[in-house]
Amino acid sequence: MATTAVVDAGEGAPDPTVRNLLEQESLKWVFVGGKGGVGKTTCSSILSILLASARQSVLVISTDPAHNLSDAFQQRFTKFPTLVRGFNNLYAMEIDPKVENDDFSNEGMEGFLSELTNAIPGVDEAMSFAEMLKLVQTMDYSVVVFDTAPTGHTLRLLQFPATLEKGLEKMMALKNKFGGLLNQATRLFGLGDELNEDAMLGRLEGMKDVIEQVNRQFKDPDLTTFVCVCIPEFLSLYETERLVQELAKFEIDAHNIIINQVLFDEEAVESKLLKARIKMQQKYIDQFHMLYDDFNITKLPLLPEEVCGVQALQNFSRHFLTPYKPALKRGTVEELELRVSILKSALQEAESELDRLRKGKQVA
């Protein structure tokens, strides 16, 4: 615990908030990711709300097949940008890379491409993501926030330039191997020119151009950053370390970590279980600070209720801008008064329960 105190209070230590993201006016793409169940959707929703207060227009996109954006905002979203209620510059949409190719026509070149991409592992997701990015680029959003799927899926998403490159190589290999056979077959069956190899290669080359352009933007720290969300437990720490290493490999900037569901030791906690959890959490929080001493690490409190709806998201957003401080601290008069009040209430409940049991026993 002393380690954290030193890190938090140390001169020159990174600001323990997300203000740096709001102040970076050049930022175009913000990815939010981490292990499943750590609160990625809540964090990406709140980040999009905060960005909407500082930027002209914001789009938040869920690429997680288990979409939660609709639940977070308590509003139905689809694969098309929808204005979030209560805002005039915040939009949301939900896409599923694994099923977006179902939208392709089953006829002509589109159907053939769909079958082809399904035969090359990962290309279907990459092509669908490329189509989505092409759509987003035609829109004039100041910044786009991605609420990503759990880590493994996200890392595959970041590999899509190489995946499409692989698909193009396979197409070129087919062209070199079979020559004009495909063209002859399309003419034989009266399918016209839309299925010829040049048309298909042109389609994939067009995808590749979009991918290369976006890939260059993703590797530009002025335009793109990745926010890692985690909880203070071993598996989440391990997953975050893996994610940070992979992001470095892909040359994608990451300098913000959000530690969610933190139990603060200063609070008036009497439960032995909670005290044990606090001790365990503090061990991993210390490790986060030790491993990522140059990151902006934001700690968010565990709440007794879910954060759902625009009002709840806005209320919780203050902890993203100002470090959370418990209302009561141990050793103060207020904290002791609260503990006495809690104990008195517990004693009254126990006495009432005892009276009920005694009366029941007498009746029996």
Q: Which residue ranges make up the annotated binding site for ATP? A: 35-42, 233, 260
Distances, alpha carbon 39 to alpha carbons 124, 172, 289, in Å: 28, 43, 20
The residues, ordered by sequence, that sit 6+ positions from 94 with a Cβ below 8 Å of its Cβ are 61, 62, 67, 69, 70, 77, 78, 79
Instruction: Mark 59-87 as b/e (b = at least 16 C-beta within 10 Å).
Output: bbbbbbeebbbbebbebebebebbebeeb
Tokens 């439960």 found at = 271
- Distance in angstroms (rounded) separating the CA atoms of residues 176 and 113: 18
Residue 102 bears catalytic tag: no
Which of 64, 147, 253, 286 is labelled catalytic?
Answer: 64
- Cα atoms in the Cβ-side hemisphere of radius 13 Å centred on 344: 6
258 near 227, Cβ under 8 Å?
A: yes
> Where is the binding site, in residues?
35-42, 233, 260
- Distance in angstroms (rounded) separating the CA atoms of residues 191 and 172: 21
H-state helical runs in the chain: 2-9, 19-23, 40-52, 69-73, 108-119, 123-138, 151-158, 160-178, 181-188, 197-218, 234-249, 272-291, 310-316, 318-321, 333-363
Residue 301 burial (10 A CB sphere; 0-12, 13-18, 19+): middle
- Distance in angstroms (rounded) separating the CA atoms of residues 174 and 259: 49
Based on its alpha-carbon atoms, the radius of gyration of the chain, rounded to whole angstroms, reads: 26
Within 10 Å of residue 330's Cβ, how many Cβ atoms? 13
Instruction: Mark 237-273 as b/e (b = at least 16 C-beta within 10 Å).
Output: bebbbebbebbeebebbbbbbbbbbbbbbebbbeeee
- Distance in angstroms (rounded) separating the CA atoms of residues 226 and 223: 11
* Nearest one of 225, 250, 324 to 23, comparing CA atoms: 225
Q: Which residues are designated catalytic?
A: 64
